[in-house]
Amino acid sequence: MPRADLFRHLFCLSLVLGFALQPLMAGNHKKKPAPDRYIQNYERKLADLEKRKQDTDKMLKQANADFRKQTERKQRELKELAEEYKQREARAQKAIKEYGEQQDSISAALKKYRIGLAAKQAAAAKKRQEEAKKTAAAKKPAEDAKRKIDSRKKPAPKAKVDLKNREAIRKRAEESRRAHLKRFDKNRDGKVTKEETKAVLDQEAKQREEARKKPNEVARKKPAPKKVTPKKPAPKKPTSKKPDLDRLRANYVKAQKNDQSAKGLYAKAKRAYDEARGNKKTYKVDLERLEKNYERAKKNAYTMGRALVSTKRAYEYARRK
């Protein structure tokens, strides 16, 4: 049988069966009951929980994927950072090596210069010794002849030293120095500068000019005074020596402080100079500067020591008097 006829017979058979079964189905049809509200709520909650579960599962999968991506990115960044620091370390090691080579080169040059300088100084000292020997040998005949002539002459008697006269001269000199300081030393630092001297002289000239003009003005304004019999001047009281003793004591204490300060600076400069001489990395310019500071501090300490001895002697002499 052809396929088209077969389909046609089957379609007709289905129509017949449909019409035949329709009354039977119509007789057995019943109305469905209304759905329960609680069942619908439970089903809705179950559907909501299922949806949340699916969404959470998706979020977990997405979080795992993000975690893998970030881990890969961090590992890649860490690898790049390690490579960068490795390159920095290589550059630093190279720079340290170059600096060490430069340091060795400078140290070798300094050592060579010191050796040459020592050789030059030794040669110059040897040359000076030879010249001194030649000069002494050339002067020796004249000195021998002079010595023979002087030996024939009687030695002149030494002049006797007058201790009282010397003490009086020293006292006058000390009084003159104090008067000079009192007149010109305005800031009381124990020193008189050109500016202080000029200022004092200008002030004194101004005062003399004002004193010269003042009597003329007073004479023009006031009438002639009456004659008054002169009174006998009151006898002068002997001046006390305590202010001078206090001043000398203050000078002595100040000299002690200056001496201690100068000694401290001298010790500090000497220590810095000795350390620089023992350090091979010290440059010539720094060594010369420290040597100058050391010589200056040494000279200042010697000056302050002499000043201390002088002020102490003056103070003790005033106390004994």
Distance CA 290, CA 283 (A): 11
Q: Are 297 and 262 in contact (CB under 8 A)?
A: yes
On whether residue 36 sits in a domain, the answer given is no
Distance CA 143, CA 155 (A): 17
Confidence at 204, pLDDT banded by 50, 70, 90: confident
| pLDDT of 113 higher than 60 | yes
Using one digit for the tens of pLDDT, what is the confidence trace for 116-135? 999 999 999 999 999 888 88
On whether residue 233 sits in a domain, the answer given is no
If one counts the domains in the chain, the total is: 3
Instruction: Identify the three-state secondary structure at position 276.
Output: helix
Instruction: Write out the two tokens for 195.
Output: 């500016």
What pLDDT does 54 receive? 92
On whether residue 18 sits in a domain, the answer given is no
The answer to whether residues 190 and 115 belong to one domain is no
The answer to whether residues 185 and 131 belong to one domain is no
On whether residue 195 sits in a domain, the answer given is yes
The answer to whether residues 136 and 201 belong to one domain is no
Mean pLDDT of 17-43: 66
| pLDDT of 148 higher than 90 | no
The answer to whether residues 258 and 216 belong to one domain is no
The answer to whether residues 108 and 172 belong to one domain is no
- Maximum mean pLDDT: which of 57-66, 133-142, 190-199: 57-66
Using one digit for the tens of pLDDT, what is the confidence trace for 241-298? 566 888 888 898 999 999 999 899 999 888 888 888 888 777 777 888 888 888 999 9
Using one digit for the tens of pLDDT, what is the confidence trace for 38-78? 888 888 999 999 999 999 999 999 999 999 999 999 999 99
Domain boundary among 90, 116, 146: 146
Q: State how far the alpha carbon of 252 is from the alpha carbons of 173, 176, 180, 208, 255, in Å.
A: 18, 18, 19, 36, 5
The answer to whether residues 94 and 129 belong to one domain is yes
Q: Are 241 and 318 in contact (CB under 8 A)?
A: yes
Instruction: Write out the two tokens for 164.
Output: 């009282």
Q: Cα angle vertex 17, ends 15, 19, to 5°? A: 70
On whether residue 190 sits in a domain, the answer given is yes
On whether residue 235 sits in a domain, the answer given is no
The answer to whether residues 167 and 122 belong to one domain is no
On whether residue 3 sits in a domain, the answer given is no
Strands (E), 251-301: none
pTM here is: 0.27
Q: What is the CATH number for 271? A: 1.10.287
The answer to whether residues 107 and 52 belong to one domain is yes
Of all residues in the chain, what percent carry a pLDDT higher than 90?
22
What pLDDT does 65 receive? 92
Domain containing 273: what range?
A: 241-321
Calculate the average pLDDT of the chain. 79
**Which of 60, 80, 61 lies closest to 72 in space, CA to CA?**
80
